[in-house]
Structure 1
């Protein structure tokens, strides 16, 4: 195994672990983790907020026909809501519209594990080779409109292979939608709206990063449950969990989990139609299981290893 380091002009550091991984399947399971490092130590400021925290980490996987967030462009209404108020409903609508148009594949929305600027958010996704780009955003809160952003990061290398690991240092950005240079939540709107731009080393921020993004390839074995209703299933043996990805939020009427002997492990009648649902079985033995989904298009059973 060899390691390749790349330094980009934006100050982003990416670490690729180059091994013989090929895109032999359309789908790949990834774990995305953002670890906050923003604090009054890394970014000393006289009025560092006592309630400093991150809004939910939101994002999408998509193709190159759409851009959700990018420095040098105007923020969309969805990104404005994320950066100013930490709200994701409008951004969700933008992603769902792109999914319907065939430009996006998944909507991502993951809360942080604690109300802290040094907390983390981690989510498992299923990436599809037709939608290999990842975009993310989270509000630096409280603030006028400051955020972290990731713009159209490809999970495929130039040869079309799934990248095993990516590590990025993330820095603060201004969404250009609200005036203000202190950690105040209420501020006047920017008129005219400005372009999204970096505020690295601009008070109250230092030159230090505000967090680290780690993206790790888990497996290439994910299967699509239904071409008509795109629902994906993946597993994480380390956490003894099953992830069901239902980006279009189609109605799933029932979920049943069976062990290798055909015994029912768990039944979930009338589950909520979340874009990503994680089912955890901490005491389950490792081995073969069956996931049976009853949807509006009928039922289907898939084998998984956990």
Structure 2
């Protein structure tokens, strides 16, 4: 992937390069109503990475690493396109290890992070369903999640910075759904389903690889449901 720096800025905890298609958090958001109290959400990933759906991109040992999800404020960023992976995200992307990202989340807990959870289950293939449950509050109503696409050099799936608080009404949303894409974390070289590769030096931006690797076919779907 290409690497460029055009005036690095710090944005909600992630270093990103400009230009970017990720919306900035503005004063307009801060002036809108905030949800009151707390809410509990179940986050479910329904994986659909199969040989039938992805005949040219399905290794024999295909699986996903333990799912990690967190609720947080704009002051924390787990990951985002055009951002640069933290050491914790790097470990998830390259090995599926959650030890370091757990530490990063724990460091922010009580401040920018309200809650986080790890599923601790490595799927047996690419077509299972996994879930975690997390709490949110009005100030920390953004939700992000991540899992390794395995085996791979440093590829991930998940979502980032989804606000479960309706900033117009000030009410926690009942349910949100979306599709699971694929991103290269920019930390390890390699273009196929291998895990023994050289480190990318310097580290590159997180980049969408759904089209280039998976032919544009999504890896599944997610649902964020209020309990």
Q: TM-score, normalised by structure 2?
A: 0.81
Higher percent of residues as helix: 2
> Deviation of residue 83 (structure 1)?
0.4
SS of the counterpart of 2:90?
A: helix
SS of the counterpart of 1:176?
A: coil
2:173 corresponds in structure 1 to: 163
What whole-Å deviation, never above 9, does each CA across 1:63-93 have from its counterpart, x for those lacking one? 0112110110110000000000000111011
User: Are positions 1:31 and 2:42 aligned together?
Assistant: yes
1:96 corresponds in structure 2 to: 106
SS of the counterpart of 1:90?
A: helix
- Equivalences, count: 195
Q: Aligned ranges for residues 107-122 of structure 1 at < 5 Å?
A: 107-112=116-121, 114-122=123-131
Candidates 161, 171, 174, aligned match of 2:184: 174
The 2-side partners of 1:191 and 1:113 are apart by 29
Residues 39, 152 of structure 1: CA spacing in aligned structure 2 closer, same or farther, 3 A cutoff? same
> Deviation of residue 140 (structure 1)?
0.3
Residues 151, 44 of structure 1: CA spacing in aligned structure 2 closer, same or farther, 3 A cutoff? same
- Stretch deviating more after TM superposition (61-70 or 112-121): 112-121
SS of the counterpart of 2:88?
A: helix
> Deviation of residue 112 (structure 1)?
4.1
The 1-side partners of 2:54 and 2:201 are apart by 28
Candidates 132, 142, 150, aligned match of 1:141: 150
Candidates 204, 217, 221, aligned match of 1:194: 204
SS of the counterpart of 2:97?
A: coil
Residues 139, 114 of structure 1: CA spacing in aligned structure 2 closer, same or farther, 3 A cutoff? closer
Q: CA RMSD in A?
A: 1.8
Structure 1 segments of 4+ aligned residues over 2 angstroms from their partners:
111-114
Higher-RCO chain (CA-CA 8 Å, sequence separation at least 6) = 2
User: Are positions 1:73 and 2:108 aligned together?
Assistant: no
SS of the counterpart of 2:131?
A: strand
Candidates 37, 57, 62, aligned match of 1:52: 62
Higher percent of residues as strand: 1
Candidates 37, 52, 72, aligned match of 1:62: 72
Query: Between Structure 1 and Structure 2, whose CA radius of gyration is higher?
Result: 1
The 1-side partners of 2:211 and 2:162 are apart by 24
> Deviation of residue 109 (structure 1)?
0.3
The 1-side partners of 2:73 and 2:51 are apart by 38
What whole-Å deviation, never above 9, does each CA across 1:136-176 have from its counterpart, x for those lacking one? 10000000001113111111012221011101001110000
